[in-house]
Structure 1
Amino acid sequence: MIVLALGVAGIVFVSLPPPAERPTLMVYTYDSFMVWGDDPDTIDSRAFGGFEERYDVNVSIQRLQTDAKGIITRLGVESSNPVADIVVGIDNILILEPGVTDLLTPFEPPNLNVVNQSFINALDPDHYITPFDFGLVTLIYNKTSMSPAMYPQLLNLTFQDLADPTFAGALVTENPHLSSPGLAFLLTEITVYEKLLLQNWTEWWIDVNEYIDVESGWSEAWEAWYYGPTKHILNSYGTDPAYSVYFYGGEPDTGIAPIYHDGEHYAWMQVEGMGLVKNGPNPELGKLFIEYCLNETVQSLIATNNWMFPVRSHVTLDPAFIHALHPSEVSLLNELLPRAEIAANLNQWLDKFDEIRTP
């Protein structure tokens, strides 16, 4: 509204409305999202500043002190009055858990054709979440304390090898209830035993139960592995050697040991997605943000800041990624364990895991 007032000496004063505030797009994600690069303090502006300028909006990346499972819990608590517009980090296992899709609105961005269909199929063909990045969950080892020269089994590592107390006592993984790589490791073991070895998957966990170190999350597992004098094998990501070379040069100080069976190496592919929060404050901006995150600007920053692979096709990777484990080098265990089978059995598998782990 414009108000005209006749003041002293006939001067007309004009009162203009205050400028409209820029809307804020709220993005919930996990604590380590895109913070493992050269300059984590500027990554948000480098990745999403273009979106802010294009649509005259503020983007607030809320890195919650939790992993993706904790974010889902937060969204559930806020579901009657959502705060977030977007969630980033729900992966191809978490999306299958009961109630998760109830918190999201399906959306298929118009530029989804830049993403290989295999990632869409692996993550969510119903488009409640859109692929953002992907990585291979596998075992890594400290080359200084446990090398193939000392332990040739590392070149073709099997779960039978890992059942040996020497290896089981050196292995650190994560709680599958609290950690996405921990859940991927559990599904790796289940798939190998049930689909390849045709044996009961619980046998291995019973054998290693008194030796294996199961930490709450990836950060805790990494610390136990890095600082623990007897912990030499970690359930992590196949990009870890690339990280080592990128920051420290030379040869990587970590090796990769994907699970071996009958002439092939196997790994679990984790695809992380981004979704539109159901009844979020800014749904149209949220849709534009998901579309924006598939452009080359954002996707080209993923590899050396989140240490995952971009899902956009034909993005150039840093030369350090020659040391990473690539999908072409392994067979994907996801292809042996259908999404429907995971959805139908996941809670039962987790209950059985708890039963074995509880003294």
Structure 2
Amino acid sequence: MSTSYPTRKNPKTIILAIVVVATIAVASFAILTWPRPSLKVYTYDSFMLWGDNPETIDETVFGQFEIEHGIDVEIIRLPTDANGIVSRLVAESENPQADVVIGIDNILILQEAAKSVLTPYSSPNVDLIDEEVVDALDPDHYLIPFDLGLVSIIYETNFINSTSHPTIENLTLSNLATEEFATSLVTENPHQSSPGLAFLLSQITIAEKILETDWTDWWDIVKDDINVQAGWTEAWTIWHDSSERNMLVSYGTDPAYSSYYSGEAPDIAVAPFHYNDNDYSWMQIEGIGLVKNGPNQALAKQFIDYCLTAQVQQYIALNQWMFPANPNIELDDAFQYALHPEEVNLLNTLMPSSEIAANLTQWLDDWDLIMA
């Protein structure tokens, strides 16, 4: 891959630095005063750690809330993804430790386990978010949108472009199944990775709803050629380091990240799927929710309200590299290179949530049998 694409920061290293700084700060503070009450927020390991100052991002984003309420906000980054967060909440359900959770998405919330550890909350600030996005995540408000992004194929333009590979401009599953493209593709395990699951659902939706074919046929064709990694970080590493794997299942904001940190036009691009003169992509919506029977319910609700305002939402684009759920936030110029939701038809709208909930386990079982 091109060396001009900036090297991603390692969130595990950053988390260690945050823990060290926080420990020193707490130890120093404890000499002078009693500990303040705290609000505990569970999230995944890389939450808000992709920006310029990851070591101080929690204070920057949530410090004002701490001052206003005289508390400490503890952002607890669990060494897992959203599935692991739900498992942790289920394990603690008899004695909840967290107050708020961030990162459960519009697929995971369809599972009963996720809803069982949350309490619906209709924030007075929900009107700051487009109603369509709110309903697409969860019309019952077990979750309220925090950020969103499009899961698509990204590719390295020095190896794949409209001149060398004209079909990349109007990518179809048939194109992607050719040996040249399939042997270039890296994706993620749908059991372990939210973009990996979004890609599987994209493929199923196109096959079943647009092409009216058996979705398993495509995987039978490509199973020996594509590279499936456990998670996004592992997939990105293979894609970045290999001169043969030039396509990756990732997010449509990746070119914006590349441009922002290189200071140049990116040498990666996004290829949404293309059918019937329309581009298609899957929207992932990550939510913020109230933990059921959490220790600080009233304060947690106020924190959720706060997270929907510009005071928090303004930091999402350049630290999460997702779109803020609040549509009134001005984006950096680098986002001119991103794939925006209004530029595509959303595959989510073709696949009812009820159909996903009823069939997801079987789809994953079928995928396992094919890929075994």
TM range (shorter): over 0.9
Counterpart Cα distance in 1 of 2:72 and 2:154: 39
Q: Is 2:107 aligned against 1:93?
A: yes
Of the candidates 294, 297, 305, which is equivalent to residue 280 of structure 1?
294
Confirm whether residue 210 of structure 1 aligns to residue 221 of structure 2: no
Q: Which amino acid aligns with 1:95?
A: I
Equivalent residue, structure 1, for 2:56: 42
2:243 aligned partner, one-letter code: P
Q: Does 1:258 align with 2:272?
A: yes
Shift of 1:78: 1.2
Q: Distance in 2 between matches of 1:48 and 1:356?
A: 45
Larger Rg: 1
User: 1:112: which partner in 2?
Assistant: 126
Alpha carbons 2:101, 2:291 under 8 Å: kept: yes
Gaps of 5+ in 1: 1-17
Identity %: 54
Deviation of 1:209 after TM superposition, in Å, equals 0.5
1:243 aligns with 2:260: no
- Give the match's secondary structure for 1:260: strand
TM-score (norm 1): 0.93
Cα shift at 1:279? 1.2
Is the 8 Å Cα contact of residues 86 and 113 (structure 2) preserved in structure 1?
no
Aligned partner of 2:314 among 300, 305, 309: 300
**Within 1, Cα distance between the matches of 2:344 and 2:127?**
25
What value does the CA root-mean-square deviation take over the aligned residues? 1.1
Deviations 1:303-339 (A, max 9, x none): 0100000111211000111111011111100110011
Q: Residue 174 of structure 1 aligns with which residue? A: 188
Asked if structure 1 preserves the Cα contact closer than 8 Å seen for 2:42 and 2:85, the reply is yes
Output the CA distance in 2 between the equivalents of 1:333 and 1:251: 28
1:140 and 2:149 aligned? no
The one-character-per-residue Cα deviations of 1:22-74 (angstroms, maximum 9, x if unpaired) are 21111111111111011111111111001100111100111111111111111
Shift of 1:20: 6.4
Report the alpha carbon displacement of residue 147 of structure 1 after superposing the two structures with TM. 2.1
How do residues 306-325 of structure 1 correspond to structure 2 at under 5 angstroms?
306-325=320-339
Report the alpha carbon displacement of residue 234 of structure 1 after superposing the two structures with TM: 0.3
- AA aligned to 2:148 is F
Is 2:242 aligned against 1:228? yes
Distance 1:286 1:203 in 2: 47
Structure 1 position 273, deviation (Å): 0.1
**What residue is the counterpart of 1:9 in the other structure?**
none
- 1:119-158: CA deviations, max 9, x gaps? 1111000000111000011110011222222111111111
Aligned residue number for residue 81 of structure 1: 95
Aligned to 1:326: 340
* C-alpha separation in 2, matches of 1:189 and 1:226: 24
Write out per-residue CA displacement over residues 168-217 of structure 1, whole angstroms, 9 at most, x where no aligned residue.
11111111111111100000000000000000000000100111111111
- Structure 2 CA distance for aligned equivalents of residues 112 and 79 of structure 1: 26
Inter-partner Cα distance in structure 2 for 1:88 and 1:41: 19
Q: Secondary structure at the match of 1:99?
A: helix
- Matches of 1:93 and 1:119, distance apart in 2: 14
The one-letter code matched in structure 1 to 2:105 is D
Letter of the aligned partner of 2:150 in structure 1? L
Q: Structure 2: how far apart are the matches of 1:313 and 1:225?
A: 32
Is the Cα contact below 8 Å between 2:40 and 2:100 reproduced in 1? yes
Q: Distance in 2 between matches of 1:312 and 1:49?
A: 20
Q: In the alignment, residue 290 of structure 1 is paired with which amino acid?
A: I
Residue of structure 1 in register with 2:26 after alignment: none
Please state if 1:151 is matched with 2:165.
Answer: yes
Letter aligned with residue 292 of structure 1: Y
Q: Distance in 1 between matches of 2:152 and 2:214?
A: 21
For 2:360, the equivalent position in structure 1 comes to 346
Residues matched between the structures, number? 341
Cα distance between partner residues in 2 of 1:23 and 1:130: 25
Q: One-letter code of the match for 1:321?
A: F
Taking the aligned partners of 2:125 and 2:84, their CA distance within structure 1 comes to 30
Give the whole-Å Cα distance in 2 for the aligned partners of 1:70 and 1:261. Answer: 35
- Deviations 1:274-322, CA, capped at 9 Å, x for gaps: 1111111111111111000011011010001000001112110001111
- The aligned amino acid for 1:86 is V
1:165 correspondence with 2:179: yes
Shift of 1:21: 4.0
Quick check: 1:23 aligned with 2:37?
yes
- Residues in 1 aligned to 2:60 and 2:33: alpha-carbon distance in whole angstroms: 27
Runs of 4+ in structure 1 over 3 Å off: 18-21
State the secondary structure of the residue aligned to 1:59: strand
